[in-house]
Amino acid sequence: MKVSQDLVLDVSEVLLTEEQIGAKVVELGQQISTDYAGRQLTLVSVLKGSLPFMADLMRSISLPLRIDLMEVSSYGGTTTESSGLVRILKDLSAPIEGRDVLLVEDIIDTGLTLNYLLRYLKGKNPRSIKVCALLDKPARRLVEIPLDYVGFQIPDAFVVGYGLDFGEVYRNLRFVGVLRPEAYES
């Protein structure tokens, strides 16, 4: 893996600009604020990829809410293929029983991670559970799961930025872009 000092050089195409992402997050936040008015909202985000999205989305929601964080690993290290194996590295820190949970995800690809997480969280008896994903990559879906809120549908490409990594790098890019194959093939 060869990372340029200027991370932008490793990106072949900007799919979503900072402005496009920002506008969409505000739109999602407004919709969620309307839909969850008067309810007991808990946002559950999945580290590390969803971190910027969660931080921006929670500030676009005008309702009282709680947040909690989980960390799972699905892709092992420097690979661009889902292993289908999900490991919980960090669990919720508070019970969600009786709460309206909105799972905040960075990207849904095969759907295996989401499928696992939904089953796991449903086992904790929330009042309701819905999903808000910034990016939806439907081309490679293996498990069909309805997504309640989606930012953008994107084509089948490996993307980085706005939280998404390759080998733990590129998360701090402000936009979402396609990684040059040279960056992960070398």
Which of residues 58, 107, 117, 118 is near ligand 5GP by CB under 6 A?
107
Rounded Cα distance, 51 and 10, in Å: 22
158: Cα separation from own chain's centroid:
14
Site for ligand 5GP contains 110 (CB under 6 A): yes
Shortest spacing between CB 149 and ligand 5GP, in angstroms: 16
**Contacting ligand 5GP within 51-70 (CB under 6 A):** none
Q: Catalytic residue at 109?
A: yes
Count the neighbouring beta carbons within 10 Å of the beta carbon of residue 169: 17
Residues in 111-140 that interact with ligand 5GP by CB under 6 A: 111-114, 137
Q: What are phi and psi of 108, to 5 degrees?
A: -110, 120
Fill in the DSSP letter of residue 166.
B
Q: Total binding residues for ligand 5GP by CB under 6 A? A: 20
Segment near ligand 5GP (CB under 6 A); pick from 1-9, 22-30, 123-131, 152-160: 152-160
The residue whose two tokens read 């390759």 is 166
Q: CB burial class (10 A; 0-12, 13-18, 19+) of residue 63?
A: middle
Q: Which is nearer to ligand 5GP, 29 or 161 (CB)?
A: 161
Of 58 and 133, the one with the shorter C-beta distance to ligand 5GP is 133
Q: What burial class does residue 10 get, using C-beta atoms within 10 Å of its C-beta: 0-12 exposed, 13-18 middle, 19+ buried?
A: buried
Q: Does 159 bind ligand 5GP (CB under 6 A)?
A: yes
Assess 45 for contact with ligand 5GP (CB under 6 A).
no
**Alpha-helix runs per DSSP H in the chain:** 18-35, 51-60, 112-122, 181-185
Active-site residue, selected from the candidate residues 106, 109, 136, 165 = 109
The binding site for ligand 5GP (CB under 6 A) comprises: 49, 74-75, 82, 106-114, 137, 158-160, 164-166
- Catalytically active residues are 109
